[in-house]
């Protein structure tokens, strides 16, 4: 455990201020063939997809299809694959588990309680993510520190105890403005819902547009307290 903490501390020390492209290239060299990137097709992830494609980096790219996504998200997936020629593997939840959950608790169970919502997220997101990361050594994400109160303490490199994997957040220090400046400069396709007040986009029934002055992730699970608004993919809690 101490060696692991020392290694992560070393990565943060030598790469903490590095450009995201350099961070990606570094871990691709260090962990050849064992680097995976989970894309939600959000603005940050579109930036990382561009970087991976532009540098022809050996990264396995995948996305999670929960079965409840916006049509605009599916359109963007198709556009992105065709534009960059990067294979994006689509991971689905276990059909039997989804079926049993819905039949037992209802189609919109997530509105009834935090426990129900987290169960839905676990079956539709966390379990497919676990399968996708199996055998990988590095997990690349588009997490930024200023996205939400639940993410302020995250670092460039960290150990994710849920998945037993080294988690790398190349855009951790970027601002929202830097993300959008990069998208515009490089003509990167993005979800059209971003132009309609959706800075963070997840499943359709659990995402709304935000109001002026609201937190960037206020539209995710908006009926809950801000401290609970994570699906389980980016927390260190037990699954």
CA-to-CA separations, 233 to 1, 22, 64, 197, in angstroms, rounded: 22, 25, 11, 24
Contact 68, 101 (CB under 8 A): no
In our burial notation (b when 16+ CB lie closer than 10 A, e otherwise), range 121-149 reads bbbbbbbbbeebbeebbbbbbbbbbebbe
Q: What is the DSSP letter of 67?
A: S
Q: CA of 64: how far to CAs of 70, 97, 107, 136, 239, in Å?
A: 13, 16, 19, 16, 17
Q: Which residue has the tokens 């929202």?
A: 176
The residue annotated as part of the active site, out of 28, 120, 203, 231, is 231
Cα-only R_g, the chain: 17
What tokens does 19 get?
């450009």
Which residue spans within 43-188 are E strands per DSSP? 60-64, 88-91, 138-140, 157-160, 165-168
CA dist 204 and 222 (Å) reads 12
Catalytic, 28? Answer no
CB 116 within 8 A of CB 206: no
Which residues participate in catalysis according to the annotation?
Answer: 231
């Amino acid at each position: 455990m101490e060696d692991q903490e020392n290694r992560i501390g070393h990565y943060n020390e030598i790469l903490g201020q590095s450009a995201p492209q350099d961070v990606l290239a570094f871990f691709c060299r260090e962990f050849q063939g064992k680097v995976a990137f989970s894309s939600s097709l959000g603005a940050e992830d579109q930036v990382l997809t561009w970087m991976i494609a532009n540098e022809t980096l050996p990264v396995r790219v995948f996305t999670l299809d929960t079965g409840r996504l916006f049509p605009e998200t599916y359109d963007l997936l198709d556009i992105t694959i065709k534009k960059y020629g990067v294979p994006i593997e689509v991971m689905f939840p276990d059909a039997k588990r989804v079926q049993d959950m819905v039949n037992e608790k209802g189609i919109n169970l997530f509105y009834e309680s935090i426990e129900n919502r987290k169960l839905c997220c676990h079956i539709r997101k966390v379990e497919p993510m676990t399968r996708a990361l199996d055998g990988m050594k590095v997990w690349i994400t588009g997490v930024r520190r200023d996205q939400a109160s639940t993410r302020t303490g995250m670092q460039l490199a960290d150990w994710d105890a849920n998945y037993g994997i080294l988690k790398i957040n190349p855009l951790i220090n970027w601002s929202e403005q830097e993300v959008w400046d990069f998208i515009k400069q490089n003509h990167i396709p993005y979800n059209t819902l971003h132009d309609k007040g959706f800075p963070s986009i997840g499943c359709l029934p659990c995402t709304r547009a935000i109001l002026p002055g609201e937190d960037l992730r206020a539209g995710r699970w908006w009926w809950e307290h801000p401290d609970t608004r994570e699906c389980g993919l980016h927390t260190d809690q037990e699954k």
